[in-house]
Amino acid sequence: MYKRQILWKSFWGMSAVLWGPVFCYIEIAVAQHPESGFSIATSNINSSAKSWKFDFGTEAIRPDWINVTPEMSYNPQVGYGFDLGTRPASGNRESDNSLQRKSVSEVSPFYFSVRLPEGNYDVVITFGDDKFASNNTVKAESRRLMLERVTTIPGEFKTFSFTVNVRSPALQEGSKVVLKPREENVLHWDEKLTIEFNGERPAIREMEIIPAAQSVTIFLLGDSTVTDQPYEPWNSWGQMLPRFFEAGIAVANHAESGESLKGALHASRVQKVFESMRPGDYLFVQFGHNDMKDRKQDAMETFKSNLKKIVDDTRALHGFPVLITSMERKAGVRQDTLGRYPQTVRDVAREKQVPLIDLNEMSVRFYRALGRNLDHAFQDGSHHNAYGSYELARCVVHGILQNLPDLASHLRLDVPDFDPSHPDPFHNWHVPASSNRDKTPPEGN
């Protein structure tokens, strides 16, 4: 299992371990298959470098670091910059001297993108400012929660790291994953890594990107309740899951709204996963919501045989398959809405001796625990908001703790076990919303 430790020295000369908090920089590492080339067609980024280092301060410009100013907007020819029409202010707002800036900050979300090839990247971020307190939540690509509520006081610097997956639709031999219209131009299918800095007052000083070839990937296949939902207020447990893992574990979410297992196979989503998988990677599979709409006489038999084949193909690649039963819809708090599909998943897990995370059973306990506050977890009858998906991700983490001890050993130290019958109180829970909004419901129900 991949695990690394990087030591750093802060501006003040204090050293700390990478896994701890640091204020000054972000480091991102990239992993890719040996047979694929690594290059970035930009004029400002050295494609042969072992890491890419971005300094958002101006007091001590160092060799091999790229100095970034708040005015730098993303340009694909340059290969980096602030993105999506946002840009931060200079740090040290109490000072009129921008030459003394040690960080960039803002009171609303801002985005920074780096043009990178497909692969996994370790990201190390240093937060804080010498003059004011900061509160930082970090998301990546399409709103994947990576770090939650990193706070610093004036003069305090903290560094945290995570591993993020970047991908493209390209398949071997020149074909592509068949994307749906709503997937066009979303952040998780483009040519760059986009990081969202959010929170009450985020502040960042440095960022470094490093190849992370030994990272382990958790691939996700599923539907709208799993996918990286690009827009508020919709959310899914798959985009909350990365928050719970330490650096060295990447979550590659290949789920998509409206997808069934049969549809994922036809669209080459499963093929994309298998082309990217390496020995020791995991594949989490959750289908059922859209599969049950198939009215063909052999629909259930086809679903079961496809599920078994995915298990066999994953094992043939020396990966670890994990089956997940679909969470219930809102109406499922009273009676099941998914027919025989959850039990079929349980049956395949038993027959193939595959680890099972019974999210269906845990979701019912979670919903019933909310009682009259059930609406706090849902955006409509099937899709969840950020709170609901966060709690369902905690259910999945509970399943990992129960069934996958090797993977569980790489959960962050601040992740306690979870009882779905006693969810986090809604009024005490908060993850700041992203600026991308679209109230159009995701495909599928």
Residue that the structure tokens 């349980």 belong to: 346
Nearest to 399 by CA among 390, 389, 407: 407
Span 49-81, pLDDT tens digits: 578 899 998 666 788 899 999 999 999 999 999
Residue 2 placed within a domain: no
Q: Could you say which of 211, 235, 255 is where a domain stops?
A: 211
Domain end point (choices 155, 185, 211): 211
Are 37 and 113 in a shared domain? yes
Q: Both 188 and 224 in a single domain? A: no
- Taking Cα atoms as reference points, which of 414, 398, 420, 60 lies closest to residue 205? 60
Are 44 and 99 found together in one domain? Answer: yes
Secondary structure class of 235 (helix, strand, coil)? strand
Q: Which stretches of 110-191 are assigned E, i.e. beta strand? A: 110-115, 119-129, 134-140, 144-152, 156-166
Rounded distance, CA 193 to CA 74, Å? 11
The residue-averaged pLDDT of 287-302 equals: 96
* pTM, two decimal places: 0.89
Residue 397 lies in a domain: yes
Same domain, 185 and 307: no
pLDDT digits (tens, 9 = 90+) for 340-351: 999 999 999 999
* Same domain for 352 and 267: yes
Q: Across all residues in the chain, what is the average pLDDT? A: 87
| Residue 268 in domain | yes
Residue 223, pLDDT score: 98
**What pLDDT band is residue 105 in, cutting at 50, 70 and 90?**
confident
Structural domain for 39, as ranges? 7-211
More confident position, 92 or 204? 204
CATH number at residue 225: 3.40.50.1110
The answer to whether residues 195 and 298 belong to one domain is no
In this structure, the answer to whether residues 199 and 268 fall within a common structural domain is: no
Domain count of the fold of the chain: 2
Task: Using the predicted structure, report yes or no on whether residue 117 has a pLDDT greater than 60.
Answer: yes
- Residue 194 inside a domain? The answer is yes
Q: Do 194 and 245 fall within a single domain? A: no
pLDDT digits (tens, 9 = 90+) for 218-256: 999 999 999 999 999 999 999 999 999 999 999 999 999
- Verify that 163 and 198 share a domain, yes or no: yes
**Cα gap 153→134, rounded to integer Å:** 7
Same domain for 171 and 312? no
